[in-house]
Amino acid sequence: MNAKRIDKIATGVLYAVAAFVVIILIALLGYILIQGVPHISWHFLTSPALAFEAGGGIGIQLFNSFYLLFLALLISLPISLGAGIYLNEYAPQNTLTGLIRTTIEILSSLPSVVVGLFGYLFFVVQFKLGFSILSGAFALTVFNLPILTRSIEDALANISDNQREAGYALGLSRWETVTKIVVPAALPSIITGVVLSAGRIFGEAAALIYTAGQSAPALDFGNWNPFDISSPLSPLRPAETLAVHIWKINSEGIMPDAKAVSAGASAVLIIAVLLFNFLARWLGKRLYKHLTAE
């Protein structure tokens, strides 16, 4: 009797706590969306930002965010795939491996300010890349590598050993087994991991302020030659991303509609992250169906 009542009370409390957290989270999302969505328009999404007049958009920043994300993933995905494969398939279980795992975890809990400052010293100053997309992409790679490696390793570890043994039985080498059997089987969860980490990259500002820079010069969208500095594809131009733009207009913006722009940009960011999440789920499910049906 007593235990049952306590059970009921505890269940009630748990319901309340969960409801409270959901309310906080929904309120947060709602606040951002309600403040921002009214400012979103086609013009806002495509036109360049204006420094001191009203009516500026976020077109270039949005493009920069996606391009930077693409480059960062392009660099970090192969590296973390390799590292994940080694850790899960080859690495012997000894102290050294443990130590390596620790270093990767340290990298993942590194404050993003420190990553940004390191990127500034190393890529911007030392390598003379200047404030550029490339510096930003490298900094984001540093930021992204541990998370991605971790999720790829987990994805590989979840593939049952039967698959590997089947590969060996067919006379495949270990490497062939991994690349032809294990990685394809783990692909759905790898993709989910990649897309979720993309959400984090997309919203990162502190690591980019001193690497990709805080200005978004006008781009010539007719020129797709990556070696021209005004081309959108040029990796050596400075590129302010959406998250950095929000930070900048809140701190130094002198345009009269700074508040509206910042609210609108925040909403766009949230929506983008939301889309990434849906995309991750959808892709993961589809790939899973596709692969298991075969």
Q: Which of 69, 104, 190, 261 touches other proteins (CB under 8 A)? A: 104
Is 251 among the residues that bind other proteins (CB under 8 A)?
yes
Q: How far is CA 127 from CA 112, 132, 143, 164, in A?
A: 20, 12, 18, 43
Quick one: 33 or 187, whose CB is closer to other proteins? 33
Structure tokens, 153: 């390793």
Binding mask 42-81 for other proteins (x = CB under 8 A): ---------xx-------------------------xxxx
DSSP 3-state assignment of 246? Answer: helix
Binding mask 21-40 for other proteins (x = CB under 8 A): xx-xxx-xx-xx--------
Measured CA to CA, the distance from residue 88 to residue 174 in angstroms comes to 12
Is 123 among the residues that bind other proteins (CB under 8 A)?
no
Shortest Å, Cβ 239 to other proteins: 11
Number of residues that bind other proteins (CB under 8 A): 112
Shortest Å, Cβ 201 to other proteins: 9
Footprint of other proteins on residues 191-230 (CB under 8 A)? 196, 199-200, 202-206, 209-210, 213-215, 217-218, 223, 225-230
Q: Which of 248, 260, 261, 284 touches other proteins (CB under 8 A)? A: 248
CB 279 within 8 A of CB 41: no
Q: Which of 107, 279, 283, 287 touches other proteins (CB under 8 A)? A: 107
CB 246 within 8 A of CB 269: yes
- Cα angle 158, 160, 162; round to 5: 165
The alpha carbon of residue 242 and the mean position of all alpha carbons in its chain are separated, in whole angstroms, by: 13
Shortest Å, Cβ 46 to other proteins: 18
DSSP 3-state assignment of 210? Answer: coil
Q: Which of 45, 54, 74, 121 touches other proteins (CB under 8 A)? A: 121
Q: How far is CA 165 from CA 33, 90, 159, 192, in A?
A: 50, 15, 11, 26
Footprint of other proteins on residues 126-185 (CB under 8 A)? 128, 130-131, 142, 145-146, 149, 172-176, 178-179
Measured CA to CA, the distance from residue 234 to residue 217 in angstroms comes to 12
